[in-house]
């Protein structure tokens, strides 16, 4: 049993709500204070957040400040969206869009178009959703906001997915994943991996879907994103259902119910409720299955989630069919079929054509049974699942190849950088060695010259000392001769009388 999954990029709604750089009015500090308070509570206490948005609206009206009035309306639309009041959210988003155009508030213009696209997507009105996404792309492209543009391509890919054009959907998803990997954008990498995994699962390639789900769940846990985590748990459950591992499927649905309940995430909560109802139907636990399905129906009717109602009605149809309550089964089959047809949901239309054909066969209405079986056959052929699967695999191969080429290029660049650095180091060492050798050579020459000079001085000193010795010796010799020739004092005293 397949369920519709929505991977709308709510991250676009979480863009900074502040525009402090553009505040010029005398109440700029007050605007700033309200916006900061709103950002602090918008995901914790929506009632308080709505009060703050109303306050921002009142001040903007008093000052005739259309720039912040647009922001105030968007904030109200944002809160109502997460309160599942799509009609109110739609009305506020339209006002935000109008005032954003008049005040050139590009950020609110982008976010409002995205929000309206998301609302209509959840309501199953895919053409309108596509219109608002394309409007957003026009502005994002004109102001060269690549991130917003890529995010919106991703969202349009979801529309193609619901229409059964998985190849086109995958094309956008791989393009988005490549960009987000380059930018190291954790949240959007997670969303892209999740979406690609779901695409593979719907093409019955469960092992490949697990590969992408496992990558996505690591990002979700590290990012602490309970909204995405609940969605991945649901898709793990669906994958295990396809493998006929019911206990594992129920285990992951219970995780999804717990996670979404803690996060007050009604959207994934109702999907998990209906999916568990489907599993209980397979286990023939019809009473509990009916309780869960009717609870999901009530919540979806309240929020006007027509797309999810298709799944609920399909489950209830299946339950009545198994209990041989053919008339009730046909009623719910047509409820689901009509909603799916209005929304252009090719995948669920394919399933319902087969179901309705089987119901008419039980009612022994062979003409109607044949009519819907032909529709089922033609739809199945038009989807060309195997061809699209090959196309997606090719795109994945190209994506992996690009990653490998980028990795090799980075490694080569790193090696080149290291080589250049090593060359610089070697050059420095060589220059330093040459300089050292020169200084050492000069030192040795100076040392040798000094040694020669010292030796010459020593030699000269030695020669001088020798000469001095010779002179002294000559003087002494002459003195001795002189003394020998002269009479002694005794001789003089003796022979010469006074």
Has residue 187 been placed in a domain? no
Whole-angstrom distance, CA of residue 321 vs CA of residue 355: 9
Has residue 80 been placed in a domain? yes
Q: Which residues contact 168 (CB under 8 A, 6 or more apart)?
A: 157, 160
- 442: its two tokens: 């000069």
Has residue 482 been placed in a domain? yes
List the domain range (segments joined by +) for residue 46. 7-163
Mean pLDDT of 264-271: 91
Has residue 277 been placed in a domain? no
Q: Which residues contact 233 (CB under 8 A, 6 or more apart)?
A: 252, 253, 255, 256, 259, 272
Of the segments 3-12, 23-32, 422-431, 447-456, which one has the largest average pLDDT value?
Answer: 422-431
210-238: pLDDT as tens digits: 999 999 988 888 877 788 899 999 999 99
**Contact, 39 vs 78, CB < 8 A?**
no
Q: Which of 213, 228, 217 is nearest to 263 (CA)?
A: 228
**Contact, 13 vs 248, CB < 8 A?**
no
Has residue 329 been placed in a domain? no
Of 163, 188, 216, the one marking the end of a domain is: 163
Whole-angstrom distance, CA of residue 148 vs CA of residue 138: 10
Q: Which residues contact 266 (CB under 8 A, 6 or more apart)?
A: 84, 260, 299, 303
Mean pLDDT of 236-259: 94
Has residue 336 been placed in a domain? no
Has residue 57 been placed in a domain? yes
Of 141, 163, 185, the one marking the end of a domain is: 163
98-120: pLDDT as tens digits: 999 999 999 999 999 999 998 99
> Which residue in the block uniquely carries the two structure tokens 């308070």?
37
Mean pLDDT of 279-295: 95
User: Residue 16 — very low, low, confident or very high, per pLDDT cuts 50/70/90?
Assistant: very low
Has residue 271 been placed in a domain? no
Of 163, 178, 198, the one marking the end of a domain is: 163
Whole-angstrom distance, CA of residue 51 vs CA of residue 62: 17
Per the structure, the count of domains in the chain is 2
Which CATH number covers residue 48? 1.25.40.10
**Contact, 63 vs 41, CB < 8 A?**
no
Give pTM, 2 decimals.
0.58
């Amino acid at each position: 049993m397949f369920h519709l999954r929505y991977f709308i990029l709510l991250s676009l709604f979480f863009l900074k709500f502040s525009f402090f750089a553009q505040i010029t009015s005398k109440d700029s500090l007050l605007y700033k204070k309200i916006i900061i308070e709103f950002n602090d509570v918008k995901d914790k206490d929506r009632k308080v957040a709505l009060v703050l948005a109303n306050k921002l609206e009142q001040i903007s009206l008093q000052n005739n400040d259309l720039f912040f009035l647009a922001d105030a309306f968007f904030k109200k639309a944002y809160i109502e969206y997460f309160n599942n009041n799509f009609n109110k959210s739609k009305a506020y988003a339209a006002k935000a869009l109008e005032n954003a155009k008049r005040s050139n508030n590009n950020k609110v213009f982008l976010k409002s178009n995205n929000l309206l696209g998301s609302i209509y997507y959840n309501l199953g009105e895919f053409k309108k959703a596509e219109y608002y996404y394309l409007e957003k792309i026009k502005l994002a492209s004109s102001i060269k906001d690549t991130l917003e543009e890529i995010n919106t391509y991703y969202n349009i890919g979801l529309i193609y997915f619901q229409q059964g054009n998985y190849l086109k959907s995958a094309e956008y998803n791989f393009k988005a994943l490549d960009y987000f990997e380059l930018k190291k954008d954790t949240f959007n990498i997670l969303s892209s991996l999740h979406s690609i995994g779901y695409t593979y699962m719907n093409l019955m390639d469960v092992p490949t879907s697990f590969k992408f789900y496992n990558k996505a769940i690591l990002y979700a846990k590290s990012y602490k994103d309970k909204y995405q985590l609940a969605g991945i748990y649901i898709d793990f459950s669906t994958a295990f259902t396809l493998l006929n591992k019911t206990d594992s499927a129920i285990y992951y649905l219970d995780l999804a119910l717990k996670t979404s309940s803690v996060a007050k995430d009604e959207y994934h909560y109702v999907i998990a409720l209906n999916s568990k109802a489907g599993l209980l139907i397979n286990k023939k636990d019809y009473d509990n299955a009916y309780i869960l399905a009717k609870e999901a129906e009530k919540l979806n009717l309240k929020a006007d989630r027509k797309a999810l109602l298709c799944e609920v009605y399909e489950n209830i149809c299946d339950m009545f069919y198994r209990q041989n309550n053919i008339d009730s089964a046909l009623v719910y089959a047509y409820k689901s079929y009509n909603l799916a047809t209005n929304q252009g949901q090719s995948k669920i239309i394919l399933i319902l054509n087969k179901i309705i054909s089987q119901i008419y066969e039980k009612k022994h209405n062979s003409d109607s049974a044949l009519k819907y079986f032909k529709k089922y056959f033609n739809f199945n052929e038009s989807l060309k699942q195997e061809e699209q699967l090959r196309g997606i695999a090719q795109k994945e191969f190209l994506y992996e190849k690009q990653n490998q080429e980028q990795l090799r290029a980075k490694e080569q660049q790193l090696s080149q950088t290291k080589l250049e650095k090593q060359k610089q180091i070697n050059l420095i060492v060589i220059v330093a060695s040459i300089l050292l050798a020169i200084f050492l050579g000069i030192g040795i020459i100076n040392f040798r010259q000094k040694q020669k000079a010292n030796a010459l001085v020593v030699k000269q000193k030695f020669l001088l000392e020798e000469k001095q010795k010779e002179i002294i010796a000559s003087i002494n010799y002459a003195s001795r001769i002189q003394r020998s020739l002269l009479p002694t004092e005794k001789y003089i005293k003796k022979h010469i009388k006074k």
